[in-house]
Each structure stands twice: as structure tokens, then as C-alpha cells.
Amino acid sequence: MECDPCLDLVVEKVQITWKYVAVPIVYCELADGVYSPRTTITPVRVITTETGSEEEKVKLQFAEIAKVNAELCSMKNDSCVAAIPLHWQIRPEGDRSQLVIQFGELDESGFVGSPKFPITIPHYKGEILKTSPIPDYIKGNYEHILVLADNSKVIVNARDKREAEKVINSIIPLIKPEFIVNSYGKGGFLTGKALIEERPVRAKLAKFFANGQKDTHPDWISKLIE
């Protein structure tokens, strides 16, 4: 096979070198029950040539990844706790709406821990919450149960009857009034080995399930404190 002398193959030699670029790496640190993003600067190698390099592209990619990882780490403080109501209401009415307010332990400095203590409120009548309608209270072994007109329930565990009634009284205005008619309360101290440690708590997160257990993804989530 003869080659066309007019078609010369031109091979351009490109010199490739490596360059180190400093990029952010974010990891998630758990200390005293709180997740916090921490950033370290790490060198990575990128290709450079006479016509350009991958430096800016690599920097942008690592910056975006670092931003996402930092946001995911911060979200662990709220989202690591199960949002599904602990007391799904009795079937077949389990599709009734549920507002779940999640409380965190309140320490002497005013810091609020992970929102791992939920109260479930069926037939919530309001809009998206911006602040908590329920005051701080002390959890404990007095269990107060508010039974609504359709037999759905609000369950509160507090230090004593007075503390439990304080919480229940703040919840009643949140419920559709037709379910308050003919409602009643009952309560008493828990007994046994698995008792609840007394601790002050503050509302931190609210999640609303419009269709109850038909959909375990909340319709909205609202932070009640920063």
C-alpha cells in the first residue's frame, strides 16, 4: 500500500508535568454528642501542560464537595434522630395527621443536645412552626395520656403530674377543636426497671406528617431554635 506524500502525519510532542494544589477536605467530628465539620488542607497532584492545567477545575470540584460534606455533617445533629412518630395512632385511622415535636436535653449553659425525645400530636391544626408552642419541661416517669375524641392519644412523660399537665395544656390549643370535645386525661407514675432519667428538655425540631403512616416522609420540617 502506497502512502500519499501529500498527507504527512504531524505528531506534536506535549510536555506533561505534575503540580501540587492545596484543596479542602472536610470530615465530620463527634464531640460531646454534637457533630461538627472540620476542614483540613491537603495537597493533590494535577496535570499541567504548556497549554494549561487542571488546577482551577480541581479546586472548584473539591470546594463543592467540601461544602456538601460540611452541610451533611451539620444536618446529622437534627436528622440522625428518627422522625417517625413513636406512637403511630391505632389502625385503621393510622393515616391521621401527626405533628412531631422533638426535644433535646438542655444543659446549664443553655446548649440543647440532639432532638431525640419526641412528642406526637395528632390532628394538628396549625401552620409551619417557627418557634415552639411547648415550654421547656423536665422529662421523667409520670406519664400523662390525653385521649382525644377519636381515641387518638398525646403521651407526655414528665417529672410529675404538674409538669406533665403544663405540657399537655400547651398542646391542647394545637389540636383541631372537634377532637378536644369529649377528650379526657389519665396518668400515673411508671414502674419497673426501664425508667426514664429526669432531665430538662427544650423543643428543637418540628416535623409534620399530613397523611400519618401512609407516608413516613414529613411534609415539612422546621428548626425551632438555631
Q: What is the pLDDT of residue 202?
A: 96
Residue 185 lies in a domain: yes
Q: Mean pLDDT of all residues in the chain?
A: 81
Averaged pLDDT for residues 8-25? 70
Residue 160 lies in a domain: yes
- pLDDT: which is higher, 74 or 129: 129
CA 98/CA 207 separation, integer angstroms: 8
- Are 63 and 30 found together in one domain? yes
- Are 109 and 170 found together in one domain? yes
Each residue's pLDDT tens digit, 94-132:
578 889 999 999 999 999 988 888 999 999 998 899 999
Q: How many domains does the chain have?
A: 2
Q: What's the domain range around 35?
A: 17-79
| Full-model pTM | 0.61
CA 162/CA 221 separation, integer angstroms: 30
Each residue's pLDDT tens digit, 156-180:
999 999 999 999 999 999 999 999 9
- Are 111 and 200 found together in one domain? yes
At residue 88, does pLDDT exceed 50? Answer: no
Q: What is the pLDDT of residue 96?
A: 81
Averaged pLDDT for residues 173-202? 91
